[in-house]
Structure 1
Amino acid sequence: MATDEADGGGGDGGDETADEDATDDEVIGAAVVTVSSTRSLEDDEPGDAVVSAFEDAGHELATRELIESGYDNVQSIVTRLVDRGDVDVVVTTGGTGVSPDDVTLEAISPLLDKELPAFGDLFTRLGYEEVGTGVLCTRTMAGVSDGVPIFCLPAHATATDLATTSIIVPEGPKLVSQAVGDRASPGEVEE
């Protein structure tokens, strides 16, 4: 994460003051993954909404990928992204519905060291204000894997825009700062 001031350093990393110092001008690297068997990157409106939200806020796009659904496929790509030094946060779109093929949440759940249940609650509340009871068929999830926050969103442009602009991007720098723990500083590539 790039900051305007040098890190004061020292301490044990658990200092609450350091967590409170995370600011909105810290740049984070985002990986965006669309899970779809019918879309291409050229017609991926949900993925476009996520990318735009991060870039409009001054963050960097580390990578953008489109993959077909499938438990092993989703788990493999997310694991690879978490291991990349330039990825501070992973956002997936798609594969979160209720059909038998929708396995994104099931594939990513075992990878999480910590869950962020308030994300789903907040997203549902905001979604209800936008679409009413249609939010019932929407499944979302968030958590942290090896110091990298992961957010799983539905494949709907309005939903992804709502989640990224209202929740993920505003809280991203602080969340990444808290989650990073002993990993290299966010945005820095480990050598």
Structure 2
Amino acid sequence: MDSARVVITGFGAISPLGLTVGDMWSGLCTGRCGIGEITAFDPVGFSCKLAGQVPDFKIQQYVPRSYRKAVKLMSRDIELAVIAADEALRSSGLITKGIDPEKINVDPTRVAINLGAGLISCDLVELAPAVAASTTDGKFDIRKWGKEGLELVTPLWLLKYLPNMLACHIGIIHDIQGPSNTITCAEAAAHLAIGEATQ
């Protein structure tokens, strides 16, 4: 593999210090801590009440107006991938349909997505009522799940958690027409995505 074909910029980094590389770098340079009290959910019952949480954001700011209906089909992991891809594309100088449809400077058939995602986690708030309805005496009952629990899950629920949906939404937003793939393999995902993309 020619090492000049791979460039790791860090653009698209999202962390408890912010949603951009600039936010993260500024936080690191000033010694700001990204760890704080858990606010994403009520941590009562957990021994640890601290976490490194990504700051709140409105995903609508990162998707074209014409695509905003699809936001309801995005899990938080998809939203984070869309934000990261937006920064990475903007910093690369590539102008796609999702950045400025009037000034596209790249052939969409020559652009591909090979995205590494550690784990696509389900939002427990969405699934909790169905799981609760499927328990008997504190134990999960698969028969109750089939009869009662599944009725509490929206029919479109799975579309938010399929691994390919991260790359899919990015591809649609930016009209990327080359190959599209999401690799979910825990900590190795990014390395595997880079390796596969270079082949």
TM-score of the pair, normalised by structure 1: 0.29
Q: Which has the higher contact order (CA 8 A, sep 6+)?
A: 1
